Amino acid sequence: MISKKEKRIRLLLSIAGLVIFFGVWEMAVQMGFISSRILSPPSKVVSAFIQKLTDTKPEGATLITHFLMSFKLALSAFLAAVIIGVPLGLFMGQYKAFDRFLTPIFEIIRPIPPIAWIPIVILVAGIGMSGKVFIIFVAAFVPCVINSYLGIKLTSPVLVNVARTFGASDWQIFTKVCIPSSLNMVFTGVRNALGASWSTLVAAEMLASTGGLGYMIQMGRQLIRPDIILVGMLTIGCTGALLSWLLGLLEKKVAPWRYR
Amino acid sequence: MAVQKNKISMKNISKTFTTRTGDVSVLKDVSINVFENEFLVILGPGQCGKTVLMNILAGLEQPTGGEVVFADGTPKMGDLGIVFQKYYIYPWKNVMQNVELSQEVKGVDKKTRRESAQKYIDLVGLSGFEKSIPRELSGGMKQRVGIARAYATESDIMIMDEPFGALDAQTRYQMQEEILKIWEKKKRTVIFVTSNLEEAIYLGDRIILLGGSPTSVKAEYIPDMPRPRNYTSKEFLDLRNEIADNTDLAL
Ligand SMILES: Nc1ncnc2c1ncn2[C@@H]1O[C@H](COP(=O)(O)OP(=O)(O)OP(=O)(O)O)[C@@H](O)[C@H]1O
Ligand SMILES: [Mg+2]
């Protein structure tokens, strides 16, 4: 257990880190080390953020519209990747036939960075929703499969043997031993997938889109509005951090045995 | 123990592993008889193949030579109670769930298997800890879970592979006493593996000494002392020296 005092010190350290980071940034711009035409100070970003919540200028939509567009896109692709990728990885880890059949294909797809899919996807599916969903799906799919696969492979053989000496069937060993034992690895994979889908989203939107956070950032560059760019970036950063924190809470609920 | 009924016969068990660096012969012509309801100790130095022998007994591995004959017919998987070296209990299951698992995989209904599991949880002195998860238990308590879990298979043969090897001396003494109490309350055939000489003498009805390379049976001892045995009695020390003279155990 962590004592109250230690908790407070940890919180204080985290806050100090943020304060110093934004403080240095603010000072650097205010004192003229960096031109405010290139980099807006945090104070300006905050006011731009508040304004952009309701203002459609200059590129045509409010921050909330952009955000929801991106969020729906990333979330649907991410969920699809988890729903398909995790069971697939688990089965590949457990059953040799799956492993043999799918691993070669997977090994070829795996090293291709998600953004390298963009050109072919645009050719095939255009710049609509489905193309971007596919790219993000690929980005999130790979870590889901790998970690689930490894989670099964890393299951202690003795724990498997224990169940075997109880007379457990292969299916019981899979569901009662291997899957619970790999849950923590699965969660790590899902968390990586979340990060990957969120960052790939922006790349996809910057290249081909008519809306969304990536599009907003891209327009900010074209209109030379660093404050808009930074609002977009910070929205992405904060949302990512929030989602990953939520996922952590879920993990503690579903797989609490690793935590104190 | 007047008439001893044979429960298990290990006949000329040999095991050779084929590895990248060539064949490794671990066991050679190991023959051991196990009598019904006895507390048999198998004593051997580290790395001599004790776990391999137990795995063969449990049907987890096949011998490359010889056979294991069970008087009551070869048990199916699930018909042996096994306590594994170190405590291999499921970290995501609480004490109750760990102990009831063997009945669960057999499809026993929840109420029945909980009742039976509770009996063994009480037997090993873990009452009140049913809902604790392994992370919250001490090493000794975890090993008790392992023992309760093995007993809960309701098997009449218990295999215990260095169950106390990872415990500190104090807990170890306690558990030795405990395991004898449990055995006296619920007589079963126990095969207890250890590399600890004192532990062997303290516990065993009979002691089979393994040694050599590849490993075979070196000798058999019968500690003719009433229980509880006294570590410092003359008989105890005499037997200890006798066995020590005949072993390659690092002492
Ligand atoms: N699957 C395997 N392949 C190759 N060698 C093996 C295999 N399993 C065990 N061995 C070898 O057999 C020998 C005996 O191993 P075993 O685990 O049975 O020893 P042990 O007597 O139980 O030792 P300890 O007291 O440390 O538990 C070791 O040298 C080990 O390397
Ligand atoms: Mg061993």
- Concatenating the DSSP letter of every residue in B25-82 gives EEEEEEEEEEETT-EEEEE--TTSSHHHHHHHHHTSS--SEEEEEETT-PPPTTSSEE
Instruction: Indicate if A182 and A242 belong to the same structural domain.
Output: yes
Q: For chain A, what is the domain count?
A: 2
Is residue A115 domain-shared with residue A12, that is, in the same domain? no
- Do residues A213 and A156 both lie within one domain? yes
Q: What is the Rg, in whole angstroms, of the alpha carbon atoms belonging to chain B?
A: 18
Mean pLDDT of chain A: 88
What is the tens place of the pLDDT at every residue in B189-233?
Answer: 999 999 999 999 999 999 999 998 899 999 999 999 998 899 999
For the segment A21-25, the average pLDDT, to the nearest whole number, is 91
**Beta partners for B192?**
B41, B160
pLDDT at A151 over 70: yes
Domain range for residue A8?
Answer: 1-34
What percent of chain A shows pLDDT beyond 90?
38
Does ligand 1 lie within 6 Å of residue B83's CB atom?
A: no
A137 shares a domain with A215: yes
Q: Sort out which chain A residues have CB atoms less than 8 A from B153's CB and list them.
A: 166
Residues A4 and A113 in one domain: no
Give the CA distances from residue B183 to residues A66, B48, B157, B197, in Å, rounded to whole numbers and listed in that order.
71, 27, 11, 20
Q: Across the interface, do A156 and B88 touch by the CB < 8 Å criterion?
A: yes
The mean per-residue pLDDT over the stretch A83-94 comes to 95
**Which residue do the tokens 């005949």 mark?**
B246
Beta carbons of A188 and A218 less than 8 angstroms apart: no
Instruction: Compute the 3-state secondary structure of chain B and give helix, strand, coil in percent, each to the nearest 5.
Output: 35, 25, 40
pLDDT < 70: residue spans in chain B: 1-3, 87, 248-251
Positions of CATH 3.40.50.300 in chain B = 15-80+156-251
Residue-level pLDDT at B182: 86
Q: Residue B34's beta-bridge partner residues?
A: B8
The residue of chain A with its CA nearest to that of B77 is: A167
Asked if B62 reaches chain A (Cβ–Cβ under 8 Å), the answer is no
Selection from B189, B112, B182 nearest residue B146 by Cα:
B182
Place of tokens 């010889």: B66
Does residue A170 carry a pLDDT above 50?
Answer: yes
Place of tokens 């790590």: A188
A164 at interface of B, judged by CB pairs closer than 8 A? yes
pLDDT above 80 for A5: yes
- Relative to the CA of B85, which ligand 1 atom is closest? 27
A63 and A118 belong to one structural domain: yes
Both A130 and A225 in a single domain?
yes
Is the pLDDT at A178 greater than 60? The verdict is yes
pTM of the full structure: 0.79
Interval A155-165 mean pLDDT: 90
Q: Are residues A55 and A25 in the same domain?
A: no
CA distance B217 to A244: 58
Question: Is a pLDDT exceeding 50 seen at residue A103?
Answer: yes
**Residues A2 and A65 both lie in one domain:** no
Same domain, yes or no, for A118 and A167? yes
Residue B17 CB less than 6 A away from ligand 1: yes
Same domain, A105 and A168: yes
What average pLDDT does range A142-151 have in this prediction? 94
pLDDT for B248 equals 65
| CA closest to B154 among chain A residues | A166
CA distance B231 to chain A (A): 34
Question: What pLDDT was estimated at residue B2?
Answer: 53
Cα B248 to chain centroid, rounded:
21
Residue A86: CATH number of its domain = 1.10.3720.10
Same domain, A30 and A59: no
Residues in chain B: 251
CB-based contact A183 B78, cutoff 8 Å: no
State the pLDDT at residue B251: 40
pLDDT, residue B204, reads 94
Determine whether domain B15-80+156-251 maps to CATH 1.10.3720.10: no
| Cα–Cα distance list, B56 to B30, B62, B130, B229 (Å) | 12, 6, 32, 31
Beta sheet of B157-161, edge-to-edge order = B81-83, B157-161, B189-194, B39-43, B206-211, B216-221
Encoding tokens for residue A4? 């109250």
